[in-house]
Amino acid sequence: MRQKPFISTIVLSIASIAILLSLTGCFTTDSYHNKQHINTINKDMDSMHKDIDRVLGIDEPSPLVEKE
């Protein structure tokens, strides 16, 4: 009975790694090609982060905070 959580953890880990690798599109043996995919994801995440900050109004310092 103790093996079920262990097996499900391994299956979940393998699935998570597979999903993570598939997020970048196609992975090949060409490291330059793979790096370009990863750079694109990093740029997209940075843009999304800036957009969310802008929508929430936290992209600029608050005028309510006193400067020292």
Length of the chain measured in residues: 68
Domain map (residue ranges) of the chain: 3-56
Token pair 């992209």: residue:
59
Residue 11: other Cβ atoms inside 10 A? 10
Structure confidence at residue 66 as a pLDDT band (50, 70, 90): confident
Residue type, 58: I
Residue 24's pLDDT is 58
Residue 57's pLDDT is 78
What is the number of alpha carbons within 13 Å of residue 29 lying toward its C-beta? 0
The answer to whether the CB of 50 falls within 8 A of the CB of 59 is: yes
| pLDDT digits 0-9 by tens, 11-47 | 888 888 777 766 656 767 788 888 888 898 899 999 9
Q: What is the Cα gyration radius of the chain? A: 20
Kindly tell me if the per-residue pLDDT of 5 is higher than 60. Answer: yes
